[in-house]
Structure 1
Amino acid sequence: MTDIDPESAETYVAENQPYERDTRYIESRITRDGADGYPIEPGRYRLVVSYACPWANRSIIVRRLLGLENVISMGVCGPTHDRRSWTFDLDPGGVDPVLGIPRLQDAYFKRVPGYEKGITVPAIVDVPTGAVVTNDFPQITIDFELEWTEFHRPGAPDLYPEALRAEIDEVNAVVYRDVNNGVYRCGFAGSQEAYDAAYDQLFARLDWLTERLRGRRYLVGDTITEADVRLFTTLARFDAVYHGHFKCNRQKLSEMPVLWAYARDLFQTPGFGDSTNFDHIKRHYYEVHRDLNPLGIVPKGPDLSNWAEPHGRESLGGKPFGDGTPPAPLG
């Protein structure tokens, strides 16, 4: 069980309303030219994440694939949070050892005193000032890929190749609307009508993805790209959380053969499975969403050992890292 006080838990469902995600982010960027006041500078910035969060999980994967660990440090929040803030309860004394703060909101308040929008992960913090630079999660990974190239490891994949960017952007847009955010629109729907519409849209898009991936190994091109990272973090949570907790239950991922094999292929690719923590994922959703799961009981299942089963996708061609190499095994 968790130590979250149910009385302090956030409410996610608005009765008789469809779920609408708040996308008002701090949009400053870290760039080569430092146009927003934040130039590329190794060691200056700290990526704050939780392994539980799919949006943060993207940045964990991309940072590892590109080999940015030595230039952008990473602080890890615990899998749960209260109504207002993620916390550093995994660290000794509950304090981030670099930022010296117990709650991520402290870094937000350094940037915007009394910040009233969501205290979200991922967030990049400027270590010298202790202030959040950005929590604009879609832009964070793109900037890792395009602005930090001088510091990519040898053999790093090109996750956002120029020739494929338009197609990647097109795929990402519909996957975000119908799948990444679609599962939340099912789970946090405030009416039967809103749920039914979100459910139909989600599974129509999963059927579309099935057909797209039936004869090709990756979503765009013949190597892993930003598009695969974005879809993977939702698929990784599907059977463990979304199928039951969010009522996305037409089928489990493991009952959709093409998508299940695709997801296992990525999971078994260095950088993906080793950046996935199913325990944190399950604890977060079931313990935090008290309006969906009032007692915070975390289910024991499903058995997740089947993620290691052979996927057979090599026969479709393509190489995950193209002419590059995988990241080194985690120590």
Structure 2
Amino acid sequence: MSQNVNRGDACALPTQKNDAGFTKKFSTGELPVEPNRYHYVWAKFCPWATPAAMMIDYTGLNKVISKFATDPLRHPGIDDDWFFGKNANDEDPVLHTTRLSQNYKKAVPNFSARPTVPALIDLTTGGVVNDSSRDIMFELGGSWKAYFDQNVPDVYPDDLKPEFDAMNTRIITDITSIPGKISDVDSQAEYDMLFNQYFDRLAQLDRRLADKRFLMGDHITLPDFWLVVSLIRFDVVFYFKSKLNKKRLVDFPNLWRYAKECYQIPAFKQNTDFTAIKQHFFQVSDDPVTSFDRVIPGGPDLSKWED
């Protein structure tokens, strides 16, 4: 992405993922459920990659699945790769590669598409085995329960999967996907449709949380990871950058109470980096800032998340 692109180019939508076969799953037997064999590459700014990072820590899977975040900024002159540090020679400490494309090529040597996050990597080969945010969430939540901490309630109950999947789809379709889609509109009518879709869903979820502590009941489940990640980015980025400015998160009393409560949970807070979020969506790359659209705004006041 060139530095004059105003979108932020966070991570690819599920429908925009690379069509190169990075779709192996645990549930089908293509991948063995084996501790200490897999590594999760994510990005701290990304609303698609962060939910699984939170879930890995929340469930205790971080004891058997390692993870590492890419640098949030594109490097000068290279707009089609993610680096593992601010310097081109910085390595992922587990993979010992410097950029994500190297791990895609370990799986598909002639890989030439744009590498995207998240990416689940098999450490026996160093190659990417799955790069679908939705697949990775469902697969880890459903197939790795034997490695969850014993005191963690089931985040993806087998007998409630249809209900949970329906909620996940509503969040992903009407909230998570909207900022990326709205950046590509070329008509007022299309913008209005997506704008209303976003705020209608927020209003529905605000009403739902009037008498619920979390989305699906009294404990954290898989849909909560999806929703909270997008809510955290709403006032900080999307309200301004995506023109999603009908209301702020704080104007939805139940969503705001819920988001702040989730944020206080260590797995949510330690995987939230407001600086990285603002850097990526506004500054985009570490090229010198020479235009107003790449200036990182001073607000909003983030101390309210700690109240």
Q: Bin the TM-score by the shorter chain.
A: 0.7 to 0.9
Distance 1:70 1:91 in 2: 28
Cα deviation, 1:126-172, whole Å, max 9, x if unaligned, reads 12211101111112122222212222222122101123222111111
1:62 positional shift: 0.5
Tell me the amino acid that sits aligned with residue 128 of structure 1: T
Aligned with 2:129: secondary structure?
strand
Counterpart of 2:197 in structure 1 is 201
Distance 1:209 1:173 in 2: 13
Aligned with 1:73: secondary structure?
strand
Counterpart of 1:125 in structure 2 is 121
1:230 positional shift: 0.7
Tell me the amino acid that sits aligned with residue 298 of structure 1: I
Counterpart of 2:93 in structure 1 is 97
Counterpart of 1:302 in structure 2 is 300
> Following superposition of structure 1 onto structure 2, how do residues 244-263 of structure 1 map, counting pairs within 5 Å?
244-263=240-259
Q: TM-score, normalised by structure 1?
A: 0.82
1:283 positional shift: 0.6
Counterpart of 1:272 in structure 2 is 268
Aligned with 1:237: secondary structure?
helix
Tell me the amino acid that sits aligned with residue 94 of structure 1: D
1:22 equivalenced with 2:16 (yes/no): yes
> Following superposition of structure 1 onto structure 2, how do residues 13-92 of structure 1 map, counting pairs within 5 Å?
21-24=15-18, 26-31=22-27, 35-36=29-30, 38-81=31-74, 82-89=78-85
Number of aligned residue pairs: give it.
Answer: 295
Aligned with 1:241: secondary structure?
helix
Contact 1:67 1:152 in 2 (8 A): yes
Q: Which consecutive unaligned segments of at least 5 residues does structure 1 have?
A: 14-18, 310-331
Question: Using a 3 Å threshold, how does the CA distance of structure 1 residues 11 and 265 change in structure 2: closer, same or farther?
Answer: closer
Distance 1:11 1:301 in 2: 19
Counterpart of 2:3 in structure 1 is 6
Question: Using a 3 Å threshold, how does the CA distance of structure 1 residues 303 and 221 change in structure 2: closer, same or farther?
Answer: same
Q: TM-score, normalised by structure 2?
A: 0.88
Distance 1:228 1:12 in 2: 24
Which contiguous aligned blocks of 4+ residues in structure 1 show a shift greater than 3 angstroms?
Answer: 9-13, 90-93
Counterpart of 1:165 in structure 2 is 161
Contact 2:6 2:293 in 1 (8 A): no
Contact 1:20 1:185 in 2 (8 A): no
1:186 positional shift: 2.3
1:206 positional shift: 1.0
Contact 2:84 2:99 in 1 (8 A): yes
Aligned-residue CA RMSD in angstroms? 2.6
Contact 2:39 2:123 in 1 (8 A): yes
Cα deviation, 1:228-265, whole Å, max 9, x if unaligned, reads 11111100100110000111000111122121111111
Contact 2:116 2:131 in 1 (8 A): yes
Tell me the amino acid that sits aligned with residue 42 of structure 1: P
Distance 1:106 1:93 in 2: 13
Question: Using a 3 Å threshold, how does the CA distance of structure 1 residues 244 and 295 change in structure 2: closer, same or farther?
Answer: closer
